Structure 1
Amino acid sequence: MSSENPETREGQPGLSEAALLGLCPRCGAKTMFDGMLAFSERCGICGLGYSRFNVGDGPAALLTLAVGTITVALAIWVELSFVPAWWVHVLIWIPVTFALVLGGLRITKAWLLASEYRNDAREAGSRDI
């Protein structure tokens, strides 16, 4: 491996750490997000441009499937075990779904961006000039 490979640089956070805490995958500063879900333009410490990474809709699609599966499975279990009124399901599952989606979307977006950085991912057919 060459010394230019992103995996060989010291001071970089792991994928899990970068995803959970919103850390820059290059320097480890907490600069990845500018708000709840929006990426910053670039890292204020090392200058890594986050806009060069194409996270796209991958995290949302993955999360839709995962949260939908978890929520439906738990709702069925609650229904079969306790037989609550319909409004109890509304009070439980709407907030749980929103919390899982918002919390999970931030983490999956950060994980995907850090993963793209680690793997030096690029758009198909593009070249560095």
Structure 2
Amino acid sequence: MSAIDPTGPSYAYGKVAPVPGGERPLGRALARGALGRCPQCGTGRMFSSYLKVHEACPVCDEEFHHHRADDAPPYAVIFVVGHIVVPLLVLVEEVFRPEVWVHLVTFLPLTLVLSLVLLPVLKGALIALQWSRRMHGFDPNSPEREPRPSALPTATQ
């Protein structure tokens, strides 16, 4: 891997940082993230519920709270599901010419199920991508790095 000057102007936002803690292979990270697992250890669960990301891995304590995967996963799901459902719908229409209700009872549930299944998969993969490329605070030396929210003092009165 080539050396990158962390003091250079291109380092700031979303660029790949030097590898002080070792390699973070992209393929392995994406596979683990898509399965909802920690991209670091592959054992801990990334999500505490359907789309709620753990603050850190319950097994290896790798922090996840740095992720910035808010709007991109739904757009990716729309793109993928649209490219599956629309050609299939056109094919069924051209070959079988079914009634409209057949399309409704077939393709609406298919679209809904595909969307609900793919959303956590793509969100996990996107978080793993950010972790692998050390984006948005996943680099220990990043100026974007924020402390873990549970470690912040709370106002009690």
Same fold (TM over 0.5): yes
- In 1, are the aligned partners of 2:30 and 2:128 still within 8 Å (CA)? no
Taking the aligned partners of 2:99 and 2:41, their CA distance within structure 1 comes to: 51
Q: Give unpaired runs (5+ residues) of structure 2.
A: 2-18, 147-157
Larger Rg: 2
Specify which structure has the higher proportion of helix.
Answer: 1
Taking the aligned partners of 1:21 and 1:110, their CA distance within structure 2 comes to: 7
Q: Offset at 1:27? A: 1.4
- In 1, are the aligned partners of 2:32 and 2:38 still within 8 Å (CA)? yes
- Find the partner of 1:114 among 128, 135, 139: 128
- Find the partner of 1:100 among 83, 102, 114: 114
Q: Offset at 1:33? A: 0.9
Taking the aligned partners of 2:87 and 2:102, their CA distance within structure 1 comes to: 16
Aligned length, in residue pairs: 124
Q: Which residue is 1:77 aligned to? A: 91
Match runs of 1:33-48 below 5 Å: 33-48=47-62
Coordinate RMSD, CA, aligned: 2.3
Q: What TM-score, normalized by structure 1, do the two folds share?
A: 0.83
- Find the partner of 1:86 among 100, 103, 122: 100
Instruction: Work out the percentage of aligned pairs sharing the same amino acid.
Output: 29
- In 1, are the aligned partners of 2:55 and 2:65 still within 8 Å (CA)? yes
- In 2, are the aligned partners of 1:21 and 1:30 still within 8 Å (CA)? no
Q: Give unpaired runs (5+ residues) of structure 1.
A: none
- Find the partner of 2:33 among 19, 25, 32: 19
Structure 1 runs of 4+ with >3 Å offset:
none
Paired residue type of 1:7: R
Give the stretch that moved more between structures: 107-116 or 32-41.
32-41
